[in-house]
Amino acid sequence: MQHFLSLADFTPEQIISFLDLADALKAEWRQGGNKPILAGKAMALLFQKPSLRTRVSFEMGMKHLGGHALYIAPTEVGLGKRESVADIARVLSSYVDGIMARVFSHEHILELARFSRVPVINGLSDYNHPAQGLSDLFTIREALGRLQGVQLVFVGDGNNVATSLMFGGALTGMNVTIVTPPGYEPDPVVVQKATQMAAQTGARIQTSNDPQAVAGADVIYTDVWTSMGQEAEAIKRRADFAAGYQVNESLLAASGNANVKIMHCLPAHRGEEISDAVADSENSLLWIQAENRMHAQKAILARLMGGA
């Protein structure tokens, strides 16, 4: 049985194979619909935090593949509070064929996987966001025709999304630079792990405090300055990031690439990490990126639950 907890758990070949399967499933869907390879299968979607994309893309992905999804709201389960994580995993395993969970502590994802008898998919933890990361690799490969040698510069907080982009780049030969204000760098343990993984593909993983590091970028990626759970720090973060870390037209120009692609996992706080003009520009991949969550995640569902 395979789980989907971190991109770092996979080999470069496995990641490419997920992307190829996603390509095939997207093409099949466009040609009239997917085959019902998950007929009779059900997946629990367990949320400790809000969601639009993750919830709806997994739910529709299951539906398109002939299966069924059950949404479990943050107020329902009380992960580790009303009931232990292990007991939740044991009970859900007897009802459903897969569990997707969005949690605060990554420990809870690991514990769900430890006690579950069905595959567990990480739908975001404070540590990483691998379903987003895989989908973003899919979107970049679709838009640019390759991943090897692509220059992706992430401007923002060294957060869960940044972590999955570093792991994803390391596994596919995409060079990733994480640009943050001082004090918001990604965890050095993560950077070191991604750097070690990158030896397999030749990717370069770097960090910087200088927004001018976007020079030469093929892709500029951003995410909210304040992630879910950090709301108490929002005012300080807004001040710290406002000093040059907004993805706006002048940052676009600093890339020196008129065709630079703009990505954001969404939800966006327009006027903070990204300007309206850039979010709605010709360079923006935001909407296709959000759509592709559904296509790429179908590959995860088909492989983990359908044996594809």
Residues that bind ligand NVA (CB under 6 A): 124, 159-161, 223-224, 227-228, 265
Using CB atoms, what's the residue nearest to ligand NVA? 227
Active site residue 132: yes
Q: Using CB under 6 A as the criterion, what x/- string covers residues 130-149 for binding ligand CP?
A: --x-----------------
Question: Hey, what are 177's tokens?
Answer: 């630079």
Q: Is 53 in the site for ligand CP (CB under 6 A)?
A: yes
Which of ligand CP, ligand NVA, none does 163 bind, CB closer than 5 to 8 A by kind? none
| Choice among 53, 108, 126, 265 that is catalytic | 265
| The one catalytic residue among 53, 129, 141, 303 | 129
22/273 Cα distance (integer angstroms): 30
Show the beta-strand stretches assigned E in the chain.
42-47, 68-72, 98-102, 120-122, 151-155, 175-179, 205-208, 219-222, 261-264
Catalytic residue among 293, 295, 297, 303: 293
Among 54, 207, 283, 292, contact with ligand CP (rule: CB under 6 A) = 54
Q: Shortest Cβ distance from residue 270 to ligand NVA (Å)?
A: 15
Cβ neighbours of 108 (radius 10 Å): 22
**Min. distance of Cβ 92 from ligand CP in angstroms?**
20
Handedness of CA 158, 162, 164, 167 (dihedral sign): negative
Examine the residue annotation and report whether 148 is marked as an active-site residue of this protein: no
Task: Identify any residues that bridge with 145 across adjacent strands, giving them in sequence order.
Answer: none
Q: How many CA atoms lie within 13 A of 267 on its CB side?
A: 7
Catalytic residue IDs: 102, 129, 132, 223, 265, 293
